[in-house]
Structure 1
Amino acid sequence: MLDFFGTIGGAIMTPLYYAVSFILVGFHRGLTAIGLDAAGGWTWILSIIGLTLVVRTALIPLFVKQIKSSRNMQLIQPKVRELQKKYGHDREKLAQETMKLYKDSGTNPFASCLPILLQMPIFLALFRMLDQAARRGKAHGFMDSTLAGQFRDAKFLGDIKVSGTLTGGETGVMIVAGILVIAMTATTFMTQRQLMSKNMPADALSGPYAQQQKMLLYVLPVVFAVGGIAFPIGVLVYWTISNLWTMCQQFYVIRNNPAPGTPAAEAKEQRERAKAEKKGLKTPAQIEEERIAAEADAKREEKASTRTQPQRQTKAQRTKKKK
């Protein structure tokens, strides 16, 4: 049975080893071609950074879907709470109506997890490839035994090995690895905190979705901090750069395309108003506000000018009245 699962795992991981090593080795050879030392630590660090940028660029379409899904999930939370109040006694009906709401609003509750779920196999392949190269000089994919040996022995900042870990026992390695673990944990926390504080409406800050986000806010950094203890410095570089990419990418999206009714949306409106005032123009929001106000004034004037017309009486009614 173990052999069976080992074979299945190898069949899944082998293509990832080739894909990850192809990009990593490609950057390594390119940097070597322009004069960097093939066995130098900085050559491997820059190669890992290049790998990170390629992977994150490829995941941009999924990140866009993630942002849209997260935004829709935030906006429909009031409706979800209404369904919970209405069908709280009937879980099956509640599940059906909730799924119907997701479908009608074009929301996929699992889309927000896609980027990290797709990154995990890549991360695992990189971790195993670099970890085994560091420990045994083992080859994987396009990273042959020669390159694996170079990575194992590569040093930067003096005598700090790229393959070193926080538990390696060497003071310099432990300091650098510790800094990277803290950076990886902090960027994970800040990214999640940025989403909750800037791009969530006030009425979405309660309920199951908000509780899920709060749990991720504190659980994910702890998971990465504990796991990071065993990561080689090269892997810590990958994940820290990936987190920085996520944080900057999310900041850009939240700043330029925030969810309605959020602090980020208010901040964007204030920036647009300030720019428009300098140019003597009006923002679309101001124009819409003036249109709504004008319509309301027109309705009030129409109501005020309307007079109750006397009802016309028949001849019989007039005769009866005279009598």
Structure 2
Amino acid sequence: MIDFFSSIGGFIMTPLYYVVSGIMIGFHEVLSTFMDPEGGASWLLSIVGLTVVIRALLIPLFVKQIKSSRNMALIQPQIRELQKKYGHDRERFAQESMKLYKETGTNPFASCLPLLVQMPIFFALFRMIDQASNGNPRGFLSDLQARQFGNADLFGSIPIAGTLINPEPGGIEVRILAVVLVLAMTATTFLTQRQLMSKNMPPEALNGPYAKQQKMLLYVLPPVFAIGGVAFPIGVLVYWTTTNLWTMGQQFYIIRRNPAPGTPAAQAKEERDREKRVRKGLEDATPAGTSGTPGGVATATETEPAPRERQQPKRQTRSERTRTAANGGKPTAAAARPGSPPRKHPQKSKKRR
């Protein structure tokens, strides 16, 4: 049975040995033109180059992962409604949930794809370093390249095949570098997961089952990697820390450019877009709802009403002025009504005798 599983593992891993070694040899040949081909720096940078190539090839899967995570966060209110409706019937709840995933184009397993694809490459690199340190070449590595790779060291005393639990021949220096890399690997894993939850999840989704799953991964994955990291060679720790840094930067770029609606990242993007329009003169710098002055404070000109135009007294006829004087200076009823025509009193005609 053991031989059966060993043959299956060899059938899967052998192609990966050729892929990983081919990429590393290509970078090593280029770096060897100006660096020591036997030095640890050239082989360690070849591992970094391997990481960059693998992560570049995984960009479509990573974009799919981000979109799936965003969709999962957005449909959490609908998932909670299904829980309330079919919470007593798990089979019906699973059917309705899968139907919702299909309608919204959401794959709940897409968030694991980049990690699942990288794990075989991770183990292939692990086995290549381990076997090269024992003089056994894998993939495209020649005997000479395997010896160089297995015996390469940093700063003349830190072998890239050394581990925290087996630091020889580097001793304390290997342990110190291994601890630094394990902490860096753990911290970048935690920060990458936290970045996704704090920036690209709407507030109403933070209490749903998907958020609970993300929180579990947030606090479970870093300790798992930290515990496993004590047995990883320096070269593997460099690979995993580099891929975490790549993931963090790539995730930051995608969330910044295409955030989920209703999230803090979406609000920050709206503010940046508004500031850009203001700089181009396409929008007023004053926020909506203000009076047009800095801080929204209205000026006296805007708050005080304009002074009313003083009305000139109406011109009176001679007979009206006579009656006003006879009335003690008070205007008569006809004169007191502005705009009313003056009353005409009939004059008695005098007959001349």
* TM-score relative to the length of structure 2: 0.78
1:279 deviates by 2.3
Secondary structure in 2 matching 1:16: helix
Cα distance in 2 for residues equivalent to 1:175 and 1:273: 48
The alpha-carbon distance between structure 1 residues 100 and 282, as it changes in their structure 2 partners (threshold 3 A), is farther
Q: What stretches of structure 1 move > 6 A for 4+ residues in a row? A: none
Cα distance in 1 for residues equivalent to 2:9 and 2:71: 36
* CA deviations over 1:152-184 (Å, ceiling 9, x no partner): 221212311111111234011111111111101
1:38 deviates by 1.2
- The amino acid across from 2:152 in the alignment is A
2:275 counterpart residue number: 274
Q: Which has the larger radius of gyration?
A: 2
Moved more, 237-246 or 168-177: 168-177
* CA deviations over 1:8-50 (Å, ceiling 9, x no partner): 1111110011111111111112211x23111101010110010
Cα distance in 1 for residues equivalent to 2:149 and 2:174: 15
Cα distance in 2 for residues equivalent to 1:252 and 1:233: 29
Aligned counterpart for 1:141 among listed residues 126, 139, 142: 139
2:154 counterpart residue number: 156
1:57 deviates by 0.3
Cα distance in 2 for residues equivalent to 1:159 and 1:180: 17
- The amino acid across from 2:164 in the alignment is L
Q: How does 1:286-301 map to 2 (within 5 A)?
A: none
Q: How does 1:1-323 map to 2 (within 5 A)?
A: 1-32=1-32, 34-134=33-133, 136-169=134-167, 170-282=171-283
Cα distance in 1 for residues equivalent to 2:283 and 2:80: 37
Cα distance in 2 for residues equivalent to 1:5 and 1:279: 64
1:275 deviates by 1.7
Cα distance in 2 for residues equivalent to 1:244 and 1:121: 19
- The amino acid across from 1:145 in the alignment is D
Cα distance in 1 for residues equivalent to 2:103 and 2:131: 48
* TM-score relative to the length of structure 1: 0.85
Query: Which protein has the bigger helix share?
Result: 1
- The amino acid across from 2:239 in the alignment is Y
Cα distance in 2 for residues equivalent to 1:167 and 1:71: 40
- RMSD value, Cα: 1.5
- The amino acid across from 2:11 in the alignment is A
Cα distance in 2 for residues equivalent to 1:183 and 1:119: 19
1:282 deviates by 4.2
Instruction: Mark the runs of 5 or more structure 1 residues left unpaired by the alignment.
Output: 288-323
Moved more, 219-228 or 143-152: 143-152
Secondary structure in 1 matching 2:259: coil
Cα distance in 1 for residues equivalent to 2:273 and 2:126: 45
| Corresponding residue pairs, total | 283
1:74 deviates by 0.5
Secondary structure in 2 matching 1:36: coil
Instruction: Mark the runs of 5 or more structure 2 residues left unpaired by the alignment.
Output: 289-353
